[in-house]
Chain A
Amino acid sequence: MTFPSRVPEPYGQNGSANLADILERVLDKGLVIAGDIRINLLDIELLTIKLRLIVASVDKAKEMGIDWWETDPALSSHARRDELSRENAELRARLAELDDGRPRREPEPAVERGRAREESS
């Protein structure tokens, strides 16, 4: 039986789904039965991590290499910390750049100082 295709291109064709949707279902949903070949997909950590994020684009995932998930803040607290410190570093760099060329009273511009300055002026 067929249903009229109402799914906007390019997200589906004739009501069918993209790769991410297929992988999500056949790997992450569906009934788990222990077969003779004992592979519990949940034991393959890398795979389950991939599953959670997967994918929409396998090519993209490949481009990003096998450790791409380590940099995803949603998954890794380490990555979250990294993101924060990156943001801080970015702010500091930006401030330093903006303040460059002006008489600098403070030896090390920090984010907190930047905020305080904003409030006091």
Chain B
Amino acid sequence: MTGLRYVYAVCRPFDAPLQSQITGVGGAPPRLLRHHDLIAVVSEVPERDFAEQPLRAHLEDLDWLTETAHAHQNVIDALTVVTTPLPLRLGTVFHDDSGVRVMLEAREEGFLRTLDRLSGRVEWGVKVYAEPETEEQPPREPAKVTSGRDYLRQRRRSRQAHEEMWEKADRFARRLHETLSAAAEDTRLHAPQNSALSGAPGRNVLNAAYLVPRRNSEEFVELVDRTKNEEPGLRVELTGPWAAYSFSGEEPGDRESDGMSGENS
């Protein structure tokens, strides 16, 4: 047998069946590997793709990465429907089931604590974009520019408008984050996504994640909705519900009792 074990998530045992048609990374269906009061969701993956060397090579291949990320996320999504999974980072691979069990055994306490903390919660992603119309001042108009002086003056005006726009965007993002934080149990601020590469217009000025009880999610979504057209030139974008990816690391207080968790950022 040459299959390796790809692990998607750890969760508590659950009764509801997973979607039957779901396929995991590499095409094999995910299955549940139970150890005490924990379940690892795993699927078999071929060594030719997931041994260290090929995996390393694949990770530099954007097509492969895209496909694998989707497959990973599909499994996590399916789990999120029936339970609260603790999602692992892409590419967590063991030689065999017993390797997975050893890992579950070693980290059991930490997993249970984190799962308790996340139980019944989902993650919502909120991003704010400054729209390009206000970001980009009309460029130098050759007809009007008659001298180097005019040119410099125009540049200065454009820079001022630019700065005002940033201040406005910054104020809006802070206020929104405050409002949403008050409605969430926990929050994470992520680095803005790069808009130079992004198909999304505008510049990402807020990229935040909010941990919200499932039952409060509808209110949270409405809260985000209400802010959407508040400020011209700023666009608010909501994604979710996600498994609590951004909150899956152990709390700082938890680490002392579990030496293996230090690697999580």
Q: What's the nearest-Cβ distance from chain A to residue B209, in Å? A: 8
Q: A33, A53, A68, A98: which contacts B147 (Cβ < 8 A)?
A: A98
If A3-B218, A16-B239, A27-B69 touch, does A39 touch B52 (CB 8 Å cutoff)? yes
Check A46 against B60 for contact (C-beta < 8 Å). yes
Separation in Å of the B127 CB from the closest CB of chain A? 8
Supposing A21-B125, A33-B103, A39-B52 touch, asked if A117 and B148 sit within 8 A by C-beta, the answer is: yes
Residues of A within 8 A of B69 (CB): 19, 22-23, 26-27
Interface status of B210 (Cβ within 8 A of chain A): no
Asked if B30 lies at the interface with its beta carbon under 8 angstroms from chain A, I say no
Q: What is the distance, in angstroms, from A16's C-beta to the closest C-beta of chain B?
A: 7
Count CB-based A-B contacts (< 8 Å).
Answer: 205
B214 is contacted by which of A1, A39, A64 (Cβ under 8 Å)? A1
| Range, interface on chain A | 35 or more
A11 contacts B197, C-beta separation under 8 Å: no
Interface string of B240-257 (1 = CB under 8 A from A): 111001101100000000
Shortest distance between the CB of A101 and any CB in chain B (Å): 12
Let me know if B198 is at the binding interface, CB within 8 A. Answer: yes
Q: Is B143 interfacial (CB 8 A cutoff)? A: no
* A residues near B10, Cβ cutoff 8 Å: 31
Q: Are A64 and B197 in contact (CB under 8 A)?
A: yes
Stretch from B93-101, B161-169, B179-187 at the A interface: B93-101
CA distance A35 to B125 in the complex (A): 28
The contact sample of 19 A-B pairs, CB cut-off 8 A, is: A20-B200, A26-B69, A26-B87, A26-B90, A27-B69, A29-B190, A29-B245, A29-B248, A30-B248, A33-B92, A39-B59, A41-B89, A54-B194, A58-B63, A61-B62, A62-B62, A114-B148, A114-B149, A117-B149
List 9 tightest A-B contacts by C-beta distance, closest first: A56-B198, A53-B194, A29-B245, A17-B239, A37-B93, A30-B89, A31-B248, A25-B245, A57-B199
Given contacts A26-B89, A33-B89, A35-B94, list 9 more A-B pairs with CB under 8 A. Answer: A4-B221, A7-B238, A25-B73, A26-B69, A27-B89, A37-B50, A56-B194, A57-B199, A94-B151
Binding site for B on A (CB under 8 A): 1, 3-4, 6-8, 11-12, 15-42, 44, 46-47, 52-58, 60-62, 64, 68, 72, 74, 94-95, 98-99, 109, 114-115, 117-118, 121
